[in-house]
Chains A and B, each alone.
Chain A
Amino acid sequence: MRTFYTWLCIFTTVCAAAAGDVLVALAMRRIGDLDELRRRHGFFAIIARISTSGVLFGGIFFMAIAFFSNLVGLSWADLSVVGPASAALTFVTNALAARFFLHENVDRRRWLATIFVCFGVLLLTRS
């Protein structure tokens, strides 16, 4: 039963992390380059745009769910199980979510990088 709960935690972590990353990325794209914004309108313009972005707070909420679900998973199972599974699955899920929801240009170079990093993380954490 503990194995089932561990995988439920990993699944929750991966889904919540992907939703959080996509929403934060979407919010930051809408807000715009912070350096550029600070140069043109000052620091308070950044605070104003960030504090009024509902999408950003939605993203942070999902990231918090991923954080706590990861903490619970780490307390049930070894880091060597939870770490590689959630990290590798999050990379792939994020690439897919960015492609379909953010319409990012995930070209061969980015897929190759994602696969290399995934494989590297699996080798690192399962040894």
Chain B
Amino acid sequence: MISLLQESFLTLRKYLIILSVVFFGSVGDAFLARGMKHADAIDIHHLPNVFFALANPFVILGIFFLLAFMCSYMTALSFADLTYVLPATAISYVVMVLLAIFWLHEHVSARRWTGVAFIVIGVGVVAGGPSRTEHPSAQVSAKALDGRL
């Protein structure tokens, strides 16, 4: 029972994987948003024009970061529930606000700080709980797969 509880909570290494999801996701989104600002509006009748946006260097950089995000996201989902990973990685919105203050020197209003506080509380609430729902059938099938490999 104790070992099951220990497995449900995360180790430092797994917290680092969650942090890498946050880092690659927020930086990738920032590059993508910057790249799309320079792209023309895409008309509904010319949807394939979206592929021309892929020529923008910021969009390409954004895609590379989002690929790294995808790898760390998949790793995170291999040891934690989706409903744990999504709120836990929402701290990336806070990272974006911090980037806006310290890198872009933007003014952050009281409403935004309230939003940051809500996200931090939400992340704190989910991070304190178990990361995985234990499915007995899944454990059995995982052991069966192990046996086959």
Contact = CB atoms under 8 A, between A and B. Distances in A.
Interface of A: 5, 21-22, 24-25, 28-35, 40-41, 45, 50, 56, 60, 63, 67-68, 71-72, 74-76, 79, 91, 94-95, 98-99, 102-107, 109-110, 112-117, 119-125, 127
Interface residues of B, number: 56
Contacts of B97: 124
Contacts of B12: none
Interface in B98-116: 109, 111-112, 114-116
Contacts of B14: 35
Contact of B33 (A28, A60, A79, A103): A79
B61 interface: no
B82 A124 contact: no
Given A71-B50, A113-B126, A104 B133 contact: yes
11 contacts: A21-B82, A32-B142, A34-B74, A95-B83, A95-B86, A98-B81, A117-B122, A119-B118, A120-B116, A123-B114, A127-B111
Contact of B115 (A5, A33, A79, A121): A121
A109 B126 contact: yes
B133 A91 contact: no
- Which 6 pairs show the lowest CB-CB distances between chains A and B? A116-B122, A123-B115, A120-B118, A124-B115, A120-B119, A113-B126
Contact of A75 (B36, B66, B86): B36
B149 A75 contact: no
A121 B90 contact: yes
Contacts of A5: 44
A40 to B, nearest CB: 7
Contact of B86 (A21, A60, A116): A21
Interface in B44-101: 44, 47, 50, 53, 66, 70, 73-75, 77-79, 81-87, 90, 93, 97
B16 to A, nearest CB: 11
B141 interface: yes
B87 A113 contact: yes
A94 B50 contact: no
Contacts of B42: 71-72, 75-76
